[in-house]
Amino acid sequence: MIVLNLFLLKFEGKYQAWISYKEIIHDTVKVNQYYHTAWVDEESLPCKLEGLDMNAVYENFVRQIAGAELSADENTNLKEDIEQAEEKKQIEKQIKVLQAKIRKEKQFNRKVELNNELKRLRKIINKN
């Protein structure tokens, strides 16, 4: 069963599309992530109805609206793409925290350790 919620908002002649990625687990619907477009003209909305079944249409809508946040490759699994995007966001948060720690740290040896950790996290992000 697909639970598809696609919202189109209109404000001062501009439109914005919102969609949520949902999973059904044990007869309950869990919203994992919301995606939205920027405010655009009606002609620029990325929502094109493509797919052979409702699952394909839904996944295509999520990919179109998420834009660069998700892989545009339709041959990959949407759930895995979303998990990778979440993992990337978590690593980016860790990088920001590490950068703040490095700026505040006074001991040179500790700064070197933190910089090594920062390099490791950046390598992980660059692989994806």
Together in a domain, 20 and 51: yes
pLDDT value, residue 22: 81
Strands (E) located in the chain: 6-11, 14-25, 28-36
Together in a domain, 39 and 3: yes
User: 65-105: per-residue pLDDT in tens?
Assistant: 888 777 666 667 888 888 888 898 999 999 999 999 999 99
Question: Which residues span the domain enclosing 35?
Answer: 1-76
Together in a domain, 48 and 1: yes
pLDDT value, residue 60: 84
Together in a domain, 3 and 49: yes
Together in a domain, 110 and 59: no
Going by C-alpha positions, the residue among 29, 48, 26 that lies closest to residue 37 is: 48
| DSSP secondary structure letter of residue 70 | S
pLDDT band per the 50, 70, 90 thresholds, residue 61: confident
Q: State both tokens at 92.
A: 């980016």
User: 107-120: per-residue pLDDT in tens?
Assistant: 999 999 999 999 99
Together in a domain, 11 and 52: yes
Distance CA 94, CA 99 (A): 9
pLDDT band per the 50, 70, 90 thresholds, residue 12: very high
pLDDT value, residue 25: 78
Together in a domain, 44 and 93: no
Together in a domain, 86 and 27: no
The number of domains in the chain is 2
